[in-house]
Amino acid sequence: MSYLDDQPQLTREQIIAHCRKWVDAWNYGDGSIDQILLDNYIEATIETDVLTYPLETQKWITEESEPELWDIIMTADEVDHNHSNPQVWVKLVRKVEAVTTADQG
């Protein structure tokens, strides 16, 4: 039995809406990222965890089946290890934007 068996399984649409909500909170639309995320490791990891935990607990999100969503998880991990670098935050924002925009079209 996997810990994933006890986790609620969301639809792709729910996951996309979740991602959009969090990236909108960080991104000011001008390429800048909220300064507290760059300055505070704990705040940064909380934010990336809130973004990725629902993705990580979906049985249907794997590197093979959902490479774009899987890439968001991996990029968020990169942010956790280098939170003070605005470029990695922008990279994460762009990946989420690409998935959420593609899903709308």
**Contact, 35 vs 89, CB < 8 A?**
no
pTM listed for this prediction = 0.84
Q: Report pLDDT digits (tens) over 14-31.
A: 999 999 898 787 766 666
Classify residue 8 by its DSSP letter: P
**Contact, 90 vs 33, CB < 8 A?**
yes
Write the DSSP string, 40-77.
Answer: -HHHHHHHHHHHHHHHHT-TT--TTT-HHHHHHHHHHH
Secondary structure element (H or E) that encloses residue 14, with its range: helix 12-26
The full set of domain ranges for the chain reads 11-104
Higher confidence at residue 23 or residue 68? 68
